[in-house]
Amino acid sequence: MAQRVRSGGWVEIDAAVGDAELTARLVANRSNRGRRTSRLVVRDACARVSTTPRVSNAELARFVAANLAWLRKTAERQRLERAARPAVSTYAPDLRAGGAISLLGRRYALALDERSERFVLDLSAGRLTVPHTAPIEGLTQQKVLELQLIAWIEEFFDAMLRSECAVMTPHWGVQPAKIEVADALSRWGSCSSRGVVRINWRLAFLPDICWRYVYAHELAHLTHFDHSAAFWALVRRYCPDVDKAREILARESPGRIHADKPARALLRRAGLGSGLFSLKTDIVRT
Ligand SMILES: [Zn+2]
């Protein structure tokens, strides 16, 4: 069988390959940019070992061999998770007029109001009314509607995130340097070494507990830079729903929910709604 190695030293954990051969492949693809200790990372049923230049191949092989059982078990679990994911996201929005979107765990029918200049989020009727927008050169009316909706959802999520985090975080004893809404296709959130926490706006389409968990995860990284038991204990303190949220997120990825990058680039060029769209909102609760 041909050796399958992903770029960047990732090696597929193949159940048909024996222990000695698998160990040799991992050692041959070692990364020497590790900090102090040797580390094994398994992602999407592929593994990579990082270490420092001082560690010999023989030493590294002993380290890998000692962790092979865990490696195989983790890769197998990831393979099963991948197979269980449906091909189409349950949360993908239907942005056509007459379509529907999920917002923070609630479903809203979409309606277009030619006469209105404001969005109306009717919580009791479960309806989001989108105002009329002037045509944009070179775009169909449907595309304009989609762009306007995406701009609104991002703004809605941004405002919600800021107000909720301002209430939640003071009790946690840590503060992010900055909170930003992110647009990555492969990750839900990130935390930079300077304490900037980024949260993917597509979490707006998932149940509430999902963004709460992602935020808790990134904030816990301000205290623990790894995924140790102490890290997870802290995440659980910040967000008791961690298991339920992770179960949902394991079946989803940002790109499967909404991946129209060209539309987003267009929005950015247009200044994300300012002047182009009316993002004014009325929230109806009765
Ligand atoms: Zn993490």
Distance 221 CA to ligand 1 centre (A): 7
Q: Tell how far the Cα of 218 is from the centroid of ligand 1, in angstroms.
A: 6
CA of 108 to the centre of ligand 1 (A): 32
pLDDT of 198 higher than 90: yes
Please give the distance, rounded to the nearest whole angstrom, from the Cα atom of residue 100 to the centre of ligand 1: 32
Is the pLDDT assigned to residue 270 strictly greater than 70? no
Dist. CA 189 → ligand 1 center (Å): 9
Q: Please give the Cα distance from 108 to 242 (Å, whole number).
A: 26
> Taking the domains of the chain in order of start, what are their residue ranges?
5-84, 100-284
What pLDDT score was predicted for residue 201? 94
190 Cα to the center of ligand 1, angstroms: 8
Residues 189, 214 contacting (CB under 8 angstroms): yes
Does position 277 have pLDDT exceeding 70, yes or no? Answer: no
Please give the distance, rounded to the nearest whole angstrom, from the Cα atom of residue 234 to the centre of ligand 1. Answer: 12
User: Ligand 1 centre and the CA of 262: distance in Å?
Assistant: 29
CATH topology of domain 100-284: Zincin-like (3.30.2010)
pTM, to two decimals: 0.70
Burial 230-243 (b: 16+ CB within 10 A, else e): ebeebbeebbebbe
Ligand 1 centroid to Cα of residue 57, in Å, is: 29
The Å distance, Cα 233 to ligand 1 centre, comes to: 13
Ligand 1 centroid from CA 49, angstroms: 18
pLDDT at 2 over 50: no
What's the mean pLDDT in 241-269?
82
Q: How far is the CA of 199 from the centre of ligand 1 (A)?
A: 13
Question: Over 60: is that where the pLDDT of 4 sits?
Answer: no
- Tens digits of per-residue pLDDT, 54-104? 999 999 999 999 999 999 999 998 888 777 766 678 899 998 888 999 999
Task: Give the distance (Å) from ligand 1 centre to CA of residue 250.
Answer: 14
- CA 153 to ligand 1 centroid distance, Å: 26
**For residue 101, how far is its CA from the centre of ligand 1 (angstroms)?**
28
Mean pLDDT across the chain:
86
pLDDT exceeds 60 at position 141: yes
Please, which pLDDT band fits residue 7 given cuts at 50, 70 and 90? very low
Tell me what the mean pLDDT of segment 109-131 comes to: 89
Instruction: Say how far apart CA 113 and CA 116 lie, in whole Å.
Output: 6
